[in-house]
A and B are shown apart, each in its own frame.
Chain A
Amino acid sequence: MATVNIKVNGKQHSLEIDPSTPLLWVLRDHLNLVGAKYGCGIAMCGSCTVHVGDIAIRSCVMPVSQLGTQEVTTIEGLSEKGDHPVQKAWIEHDVPQCGYCQAGQIMNAAALLKSNPNPSDEDIESAMHGNICRCGTYTRIKAAIKTASK
C-alpha cells in the first residue's frame, strides 16, 4: 500500500492503494469511473483505452504508479455533455451494437484526430488496429472518424 496521487478528468485524487494496480482498476474500482472497460488485461483489445496527456494508452497494463504527474482523461471526461466531435459522429452514424468496446474505440479515435486531424483510410486502420469489436462495427467506426475529422 502506498499513497498515490492522480488527476483524472481534471480532478485530483489521493488514494491508499497497491501502486502496482493497473490504472484501469483504479478507475473502475476506486474512482467509480467504469467507462473504460476490461476486455483482455494484456493490452490486446483496446476496450480500456484512456488518455494520459494527449496519448491513448491501454489502462489495463499501466501501473498507476507510472503515471507520475501526467493527467488522465477517460471517456467520462472527454466532454461534459457527450458533444465531443467523435462522440457526435458516433451518434450520427449510430455506430454501437453491443456498445462494450465503443468507449475504447472513441478514446483511441479522439487521440488519433488530435495528432492527425485529417487521417487517411490507412491512417485510421493503422491507428485503430488495437481496438477489437466482436460485433463488427469497423466500417461504421471508420465512417464516424471521417465525419469527426471534417
Chain B
Amino acid sequence: MTRVKTKYNRRDFIKSSAIAGGGLMLSFSWLASCKPEKIDILEMPDEWFELNGFLKVGNNGVVSIMSPNPEIGQNVKTSMPMIVAEELDVDWANVLVEQAPLNTDIFSRQLAGGSQSIRQGWDSLRMVGATARQMLKQAAADLWEVPLAEITTSNGVVMHEASGKKAGYGEMANAASQLDVPEEVELKEVKDFKIIGHSQKNVDGPDIVMGKPLFGLDVYREGMLVAMLIHPPAFGMRIKDLNANSAKSMPGIKDVYVMNAYPEDYIKQWSDITAFNEMVVIVGETTWQVMQAKKAVRVTWEEQGEFVDYFESGSSPDGKYPVTYPGALESTAAHKKDLASLGEKLAEEVRKDGDPEVAFRNADQIIERSYSAPFLAHNCMEPMNFFADVQDDYAELVGPIQTPEYMEKSASARLGLPLEKIDIKMTRMGGGFGRRLYGHFLVEAAAISQKMKSPVKLVYSREDDMTFGTYRPAYYATYRAALDENKQLIGFQVRAGGIPSGPLFANRFPAGAIDNYLAESWSVDSNVTTGAFRAPRSNFIAGAEQSFLDELAEAMGKDPFDLRLELLDRAKTDPVGKPEENDYDPERYAGVLQLAREKSGWDKPENSDKSRGVSAYYCHNSYVANVLDLVLEDGQARVDRVCCAVDCGIVVNPDAAVNMVEGGTVDGIGHAMYSGLSFREGKPDQKNFDTYRLIRHAEAPKSIDVHFVESEIKPTGLGEPPFPPIMGALANALYRLNGKRVYHQPFVSDGQILG
C-alpha cells in the first residue's frame, strides 16, 4: 500500500443527487461481460448511498461509477471507471457505469483531447476509489468497534480477520456515506491490481450491437423540431441574398432565416473556431422535410473579402487579439505551388545546435528530400449535430462534444443566460478525432432553439460536415542531411511549413542526437479553416521524418533499426543541447524499437526478402514503433502484417488498448494512402464518400499484432500515438516493394503505387 494525502475538500465531493440513474445513460458492466447468469443474481438496489460525486454504493452492494470524460470511441467510459473500481476494491461485475454530465464542481478536465483523459485522470480516479474504500472501512471499524488498521477489503467485502466479521459494501454504504472524507488514504501497489491490466469489455458494447439510442443524432424529444444549415459553398464567400419563399411553404417547414452563429462583437475562445458565421437556417418537423426544403432555398453568394475574428487573449490589454483571414478564393493548385516554393523565404529558425551551416558546407554528400500532405476532413461517421431546448431561464444542451466545459461559456454568452443555467449532457460520440473540440454546432443549435422557442435538433448533412472546415492543415517539410566522406551524419535540417500552420516539433527526435541541427518553421495564411486532427502536426511530420531516416540509413549503409538506435544512444549518453530541451525519453523510445525488432523477427533470415518498413514516433506522452509488411496481390500492394510495439506506461484495459492501436494503425494507413481534400475557387472538391476516400475493409492489414512494453510508469494516452508513425512504415515498405520512394500523400495519387 502507498499512503497518500487526499487532495479534495468537501466541496469537491459534493453529494450530488441530481444525477439519479437515467436509463439511457446507464451501462451495466456485467451485461458486457458475457456472463448472462449474473443478470439473475444482480439487481438494482432499493437505495443508493453516495460516497462522493463519482460513485454511489447500493444497499445490495452494486456500485455505480461516473465516467467523467466525453467518450469518442477511445474507451474512457470503460477504462476510467475501471481505475476507480480498482482502488475501491470491488468486483467489476458488480459495477455499473454512468456517463457524467458536465459538472465542474465535481469533475476536472471533462475534455476528450490530446490523449490526456487517462493520463490526467489517473491520480484523481485512484483517489476517488481509495477514498470511498477508506470510508467503507471506517464504517465497519466504527460498527464493529475495532481499529481501522485491522480492517481489510476484498472484492466488495469489508473484513475483520481477528473477529471473523465480514460484510458487503452494501451493508456499510449508509454509514459510510455519513462520514467525512478522510485526509489520508491507501493506494494499491501495481502488482496487486485485479481490474487494471485485465481486459474488461466496453460497457456500452451491448447497447451498441443492439442499436440502442446512444448518440447525439439519436436524441428525440416530443415536439422537437429538426434544423439544418446552409453555409457558403466556398471559403471566402458569404451570403448576398436569400430567397426562401418556396421553401417556406413546403410541408412541415416552420421557418427559413439567416442567422449569425456568434454575435458580431463576440470574442472567441479556442474551441469557438467556425468557418462560416452567417448561415441560412431551415427548421421543420422531420429531417427529410428539411432536407427537401434545403434544396428549394435559393441563396446568392458574394466574395467576403479579407475579414477579422477576435480571440481571447490573457496578454493583450483589451483581452483579445485579432486573426486576419485573406479574402481570396483559394485553390489546391496554388496551395501546392506555395508549399513547394515559399519555405526557404518564410522559414524562421526555431532551434539550432552547433553549426549546421558549416556542416553542410563541409559535407561530402547532402541528401535533401521534401514531403507533403493535403488538407484532411475529420469525417466522423456521425456528422455534427446537437440537441437544444432553450427556455427563458434554462438551456438543456445534449449531444456529441469533446469540450463541454469550454462550450458552456460560449452557449452562456450566445444565449445571454448565466453559466449555471446551461446544462450540457454528453452523448456517446460517433467519432471525435479533434473535430468535436470545436463546438460551434452546439452554439448554433442553442441559438436556433432560442429563436424558435422550441426544442430543436440541429443536423449537418454529410456534405455540410465535409465542406465546413476545421480541417487538418496542408503540410510540407524539407529534410536535409549532411554526410562526411565516411558516410557519417554530421548535420541535419528540417524546414517544415503548412497552410495555415506548420507541423514542426523542433525538440523532438532526432533533435538532441545530432551535433549540428537546424529546425525551421513557416506558414502561409489562408481562409480555409483548420483545427486539431488526431495527433495534430505529428500526423504528418512523423511519416515525413521516418521516411527520411529510412532513406538516410540506406545512404549511410546502415540497418534502419541500427541508425535510429545509434542516434537514440547518442541522445541518451551525450545529448546535444540541454537534456530537458529534448522532448522525449531516448531510453523508452529505443525500448519500443527493440521490442518491434524482436516481435517482428526483423533479424531473422527468413524475413529478409519481405517488403518491410520500419518507423517509430513519440507523441502525446507515448512511444510507438511499427514494422509493416507489404505483399503484392493481383498487382496491388496489400498490407500483410503490421507489428506494433507500444510504451504507454501501465495499460489500463489491455484488449481495448490493442483495439485502439489496431484502429490507429488502420486509420493511419488509410489517410496516408487514400485521403485528401482539394479546393477550386474556395470550394472543396470532395463533399461525400463517393469522392473522399477513406480506407475500406479490403485495404486494411490482414493482421496487426500489438505488443506493450511492460511498465509500472503511470499510464499515458493511446488515442493518438498509434496514428502518426505507421505512415512512415507504409512509405518505407512501399519502397522495398517496388523500389520507388513516395513523398506526397495520399500515396495513391503520388503516381508511384502499383496497381
Interface residue ranges, A against B (CB under 8 Å): 1, 18, 21-22, 25, 28-30, 32-42, 44-45, 47, 74-76, 82, 87, 90-92, 94-103, 106, 121, 124-126, 128-142
Q: In the assembled complex, how far is the CB of residue B425 from the closest CB belonging to chain A, in whole angstroms?
A: 17
Surface stretch bound by A, among B181-189, B230-238, B599-607, B664-672: B664-672
- Distance in Å: Cβ of A126 to nearest Cβ of chain B: 7
> Given the complex of chains A and B, what is the CA–CA distance between A128 and B699 in angstroms?
11
Indicate if the CB atoms of A98 and B428 lie closer than 8 Å.
yes
Q: Counting CB contacts under 8 A, is B34 at the interface?
A: yes
Cα distance A138–B289 when bound, in Å? 35
A30 to B289, CA, bound (A): 12
Enumerate chain B residues within 8 angstroms of A44, measured Cβ to Cβ: 688-690
Q: Is B429 an interface residue when CB atoms closer than 8 A count as contact?
A: yes
B115 at the interface (CB under 8 A from A): no
User: Cβ of A1: which chain B residues have Cβ within 8 Å of it?
Assistant: 251
A90–B204 alpha-carbon span in the complex (Å): 12
A133 — nearest CB in chain B belongs to which residue? Answer: B381
Q: Is the CB of A102 within 8 A of B665?
A: no
Interface residues, chain B, with chain A CB atoms under 8 Å away: 32, 34, 72-75, 199, 201-202, 204-206, 208-215, 217-218, 220, 226, 251, 286-289, 292, 379-383, 428-433, 459, 461-462, 655-656, 659-660, 662-667, 670, 688-690, 694-698, 700-704
A100 touches B431 (CB 8 A): yes
Looking at the complex, which one of B214, B215, B382, B701 makes contact with A139 (CB distance below 8 Å)? B701
Given A42-B688, A137-B662: A37 and B696 interface contact (C-beta under 8 Å): no
Q: Evaluate whether A136 and B695 lie within 8 angstroms (CB atoms) in the complex, with A1-B251, A25-B286, A76-B210 already known.
A: yes
A-B contact pairs, 23 of them (CB 8 A): A18-B292, A34-B217, A44-B689, A47-B381, A75-B209, A75-B211, A87-B210, A94-B202, A94-B205, A94-B659, A96-B205, A96-B209, A98-B430, A99-B430, A102-B209, A103-B211, A125-B697, A136-B662, A136-B664, A138-B666, A139-B666, A139-B702, A142-B697
Q: Are B383 and A38 in contact (CB under 8 A)?
A: yes
Q: Which 4 A-B pairs have the closest CB atoms?
A: A35-B211, A100-B430, A136-B666, A98-B73
Instruction: Please indicate the chain A residues that have their CB under 8 angstroms from the CB of B462 in the complex.
Output: 39-42, 45
Number of A-B contacts (CB under 8 A): 188
What residues of chain B lie closer than 8 Å to A36, measured between beta carbons? 211
> Which among B72, B429, B696 is the interface contact of A132 at CB below 8 angstroms?
B696
CB distance from B221 to the nearest CB of A (A): 11
Find out whether the CB atom of B381 lies under 8 angstroms from the CB atom of A37. Answer: yes
Smallest beta-carbon distance B729→chain A, Å: 15
Interface residue from B287, B431, B433, B697 paired with A138 (Cβ < 8 Å): B697
B381 touches A126 (CB 8 A): no
A129 adjacent to B697 (CB under 8 Å): yes
CB-CB under 8 A from B287, the residues of chain A are 25, 28-29, 38
**In the assembly, what is the distance between CA of A94 and CA of B218, in Å?**
22
- Pairwise interchain contact B213-A34, C-beta atoms closer than 8 A: yes
Given contacts A1-B251, A94-B202, A99-B428, contact A22 B670 (CB under 8 A): no
Q: Which residues of A contact B670 (CB under 8 A)?
A: 136
Instruction: Look across to chain A and name the residue whose beta carbon is closest to the beta carbon of B430.
Output: A100
Cα distance A41–B690 in the bound complex, in angstroms: 11
- One of A40, A74, A125, A132 near B698 (C-beta < 8 A): A125
Besides A42-B690, A134-B431, A139-B703, 20 more A-B contacts (Cβ < 8 Å) are A34-B217, A37-B381, A39-B383, A42-B462, A75-B210, A82-B206, A94-B199, A95-B659, A96-B204, A97-B74, A97-B660, A98-B382, A99-B73, A99-B204, A131-B697, A132-B381, A134-B433, A136-B663, A138-B666, A140-B659
Instruction: State in angstroms the CA–CA spacing of A97 and B202 once bound together.
Output: 8
Distance in Å: Cβ of B576 to nearest Cβ of chain A: 37
In the complex, the chain B residue whose C-beta lies closest to that of A38 is B217
Cβ B220 vs Cβ A91 within 8 A: no
Q: Once the chains bind, are B209 and A126 in contact (CB under 8 Å)? A: no
Residue of A nearest to B428 (CB): A99
Instruction: Say which residue of A32, A33, A91, A121 sits within 8 Å of B209 (CB atoms).
Output: A91
What is the distance, in angstroms, from B385's C-beta to the closest C-beta of chain A?
9
Q: Which residues on the B side are within 8 Å of A130 (C-beta)? A: 696
Q: B286, A98: Cβ atoms under 8 Å?
A: no
> In the complex the two chains form, what is the Cα distance from A98 to B213 in whole Å?
13
**Given A87-B210, A98-B428, A106-B209: A137 in contact with B663 (beta carbons within 8 A):** yes
Check B217–A97 contact: CB distance below 8 A: no
A35 closest partner in B (C-beta): B211
Alpha-carbon separation in the docked complex, A138 to B288 (Å): 31
Q: Are B206 and A129 in contact (CB under 8 A)?
A: no
Smallest Cβ-Cβ distance to A100: which chain B residue:
B430
Residues of chain A lying within 8 A (CB to CB) of residue B381: 37, 39, 45, 47, 98, 100-101, 132-134
- Decide: B700 and A136 in contact? CB cutoff 8 A: yes
Contact B383–A74 (Cβ < 8 Å): no
With A87-B209, A91-B34, A137-B659 known as contacts, the answer to whether A34 contacts B694 (CB < 8 A) is no
Of all chain B residues, the one with the shortest Cβ separation from A122 is: B698
Identify the closest chain A residue to B201 (Cβ): A94
Question: Which residue of chain A has the shortest Cβ distance to B33 in the bound complex?
Answer: A91
